[in-house]
Structure 1
Amino acid sequence: MTTTSTSASPAAAGLPQQIHTQVERAIQRGLKGLDYLGSPAPAVGTTPKTVLHRRGTLTLQHYHPTAAEVYRMPILIVMATSNKAFMLDLAPGRSLIEFLLGRGYDVYVMDWNAPSKRESGLRLEDYTLDFIPDCLRRVQQHAGVDDVTLIGYCMGGVLSTIYAALHADGPVKNLVGLATPIDFSKIGFKDVMDRRYFDVDKLVDSVGLIPPKFIETGFELLRPAGRMANAVRLWDNMWNDEYVQSYRLMERWGAETLPMAGEYFRQLTKELFWKNGLCESTLSVGGRPVRLDAIRASLLSVVAAHDHLVPPECARPLVDRIGSSDKQELVLPGGHVSLVAGPNAVKRLWPRLDQWLESRST
């Protein structure tokens, strides 16, 4: 009589371990979920810095150099007025600013505070003909140099680009736009801002300052299921400390969205969203035409391939329209935020940005 022995398949043999892993993760989700609810928000923006100047909504910060040798040409970073700069300095090892300092760059940042009621009348003129030029002069004086690299993220890139177009003979030798919208007919917000349904005059005249909730709701309308999907992913990864830390850092940045000056918002809506003035060369600031072909600074335009807010077709005209002979477009995988912050940015954007700056910062 022949006896046939049977043994568990490799898949079946691995099943108890899979079950054990899932049970352990479920237990960790419960325990760590309680910690998540009861613990304070993580510290952000911890890279040492000095406030050089503060005026109302504006703060100019200088980050302490860390490299033994520092490039002579400093960097001035311009953030969007609705966002805090700590997105570029989330935590040690997750900070673009920390990375740039380590690579030998002298870094200054135009950070923003919530504008007061009396600042609700700020306009493009104030940002591009006053705040940016004033900060550039202070950077030149503090660093003891003439030439500066100007880096703008998102709407900070728009402000930087407008400044460069209006000051072709100014101190900006290098201009870097990170996810910078130019063709506003292609921007993700275009349907939310449709002039047929959106009464911007009524909104601005009623509130003065555009509340953060309005801005946040606009983002959420682009991805209606985004908040729920993020919550599900968070719970599914609650056992993973690294994932939770990254989530909390970005959650804090999103929660600290700043209000916008009403007149500035009105101007952006009418001149950029409705008239597409930057791309169509119809925009005037302070009575002066803003022409991209007037810009002569070396340009790097970094585009996120999967950006739902500033899609590639929205950002690409910057390279096409600019008058510089030294210009480059860099398209990288990632979204609007992951382009500059997070583990993928560390591997993709940061080294490529350093490579471009290196030969243009002496």
Structure 2
Amino acid sequence: MNENEDIARRVELEIDRALKRNIKGLDFLIADREPVGTMPKSVIHRDGTAVLYRFEPVLDEIYRVPLVIVSPPSNRGYIFDLAPGQSFVEFMLNHGYDVYNLDWNPPRRDEAELGLCDYVDRFLPDSLAAVADVTGEEDVSLAGYCMGGTLATIHAALHPAPIRNLITLATPVDFNYMTLFQSWADKRYFDVELLVNNLGIIPADVMLGAFDLSRPANRTAGRMTLWNNMWNDDFVKSYRMFDRWAAETLPLPGTYFRELITRLMWDNALVNDTLDIADRHVDLSQITCPILNIVAQHDHIVSHEATRPLMEMTGATDRQEIVSKGGHVSLVAGPAAVRRLWPHIDDWLGVRST
């Protein structure tokens, strides 16, 4: 192929893509929401804002130790089950795990007083008890993403006995290193008491605003990238699924939000060893089970340093850390997770689940 033919081919390709962008752009605007969460599941426990799902096993033989994934209270759990081929749940089911997801519904007005104690001392232990009733097994592997991982970590410190393994994904523990959120919630200007007292339930827009402030141009850049790839059906489908997940951010109970800001963010109570739940001290050294800490290399929300106490302050002797390519969200559902991270999790967890 000579130079003129090559230029002609590239021009033809760009014209074709330009036409598809305009045609598919209209389709994007009028299309229904992208379906998500396709793996069959059933509710086995419900309590207030908490809902526990069990995914139907797909293999006749499964590992003895069940896997419970804790979603962050501000986000829907279907990030772990976006679509066939892009579902962490599907991957783990196909590799022989009995998979559960502790997910959250928007809190009702009368649930504004739900706090850290309710999450780590009520919702989590009651859900694990429901799993034990189904499986007949007391041991459980507990995995948590972002603040779901923080809640799982606090729970494991308070109730270490049934936790066979702990997997943390982009999990903040040292909140001094949550630098963007520290700036957003600067106690000199951020009146959390005024906000909670007046609203009760903290609207999802408050959390979305915090994420947007951490990367002000991110939404605009995402839209530009979408337009440049509008001709690519696979890209558009993936974008729409992630965009739906972000748009469906959940409101939070006011008391939980207040404690997140004052006790974890401002006081850094986990690292400073000053956190008490229902008059019991949260001591990270009480976590002695194997720990797999997974960090995103380009995470602008939870830095590597914010997760470091999991490797340094816990009492576990079997500790492993994986720094995976990608950002905060692509860590759990992006192409790199599918190809590289999920097989690593399977390798690590499989030998510890018998």
TM-score by length of 1: 0.96
Contact 1:222 1:308 in 2 (8 A): yes
1:280 alignment partner, SS class? coil
The equivalent position to 1:176 in structure 2, one of 164, 167, 177, is: 167
Distance of 2:174 and 2:259 partners within structure 1 = 16
1:307 equivalent in alignment to 2:299: yes
The total of aligned residue pairs comes to 353
1:136 equivalent in alignment to 2:103: no
Contact 1:246 1:342 in 2 (8 A): no
What is the Cα deviation at residue 213 of structure 1?
Answer: 0.5
The equivalent position to 2:327 in structure 1, one of 330, 335, 356, is: 335
1:89 equivalent in alignment to 2:76: no
Name 2:281's counterpart in structure 1. 289
Name 2:207's counterpart in structure 1. 215
Question: Which amino acid letter does the alignment assign opposite residue 251 of structure 1?
Answer: D
1:265 equivalent in alignment to 2:264: no
Question: Which amino acid letter does the alignment assign opposite residue 269 of structure 1?
Answer: I
What is the Cα deviation at residue 155 of structure 1?
Answer: 0.2
Name 1:320's counterpart in structure 2. 312
Name 2:229's counterpart in structure 1. 237
Unaligned runs of 5+ in 1: 1-8
Question: Which amino acid letter does the alignment assign opposite residue 77 of structure 1?
Answer: I
Contact 2:331 2:337 in 1 (8 A): yes
2:19 alignment partner, SS class? helix
Greater shift after overlay, 11-20 or 226-235?
A: 11-20
Q: Deviations over 1:127-174 (max 9, x none)?
A: 111110001111011011121000011000000000011112x21110
Greater shift after overlay, 229-238 or 324-333?
A: 324-333
Unaligned runs of 5+ in 2: none
The share of aligned pairs that are identical, in percent, is 49
Question: Which amino acid letter does the alignment assign opposite residue 159 of structure 1?
Answer: L
1:76 alignment partner, SS class? strand
Contact 2:47 2:123 in 1 (8 A): no
Distance of 2:322 and 2:270 partners within structure 1 = 21
Question: Which amino acid letter does the alignment assign opposite residue 352 of structure 1?
Answer: H
TM-score by length of 2: 0.98
Name 1:4's counterpart in structure 2. none
Q: Which of these two proteins has the greater Rg computed from alpha carbons?
A: 1
The equivalent position to 1:48 in structure 2, one of 23, 30, 40, is: 40
Name 2:191's counterpart in structure 1. 199
1:190 alignment partner, SS class? helix
1:53 alignment partner, SS class? strand
Distance of 2:331 and 2:216 partners within structure 1 = 21
What is the Cα deviation at residue 10 of structure 1?
Answer: 4.0
Runs (4+) of structure 1 exceeding 6 A deviation are: none
2:51 alignment partner, SS class? strand
Q: Deviations over 1:53-76 (max 9, x none)?
A: 122211111000002310011011
What is the Cα deviation at residue 11 of structure 1?
Answer: 3.7
Question: Which amino acid letter does the alignment assign opposite residue 313 of structure 2?
Answer: R
Question: Which amino acid letter does the alignment assign opposite residue 186 of structure 1?
Answer: Y
Greater shift after overlay, 312-321 or 213-222?
A: 312-321
Distance of 2:33 and 2:230 partners within structure 1 = 16
Name 2:110's counterpart in structure 1. 118
1:105 equivalent in alignment to 2:114: no
Contact 1:115 1:259 in 2 (8 A): yes
What is the Cα deviation at residue 348 of structure 1?
Answer: 2.0
2:264 alignment partner, SS class? helix
Distance of 2:10 and 2:269 partners within structure 1 = 57
Distance of 2:294 and 2:351 partners within structure 1 = 17
Name 1:5's counterpart in structure 2. none
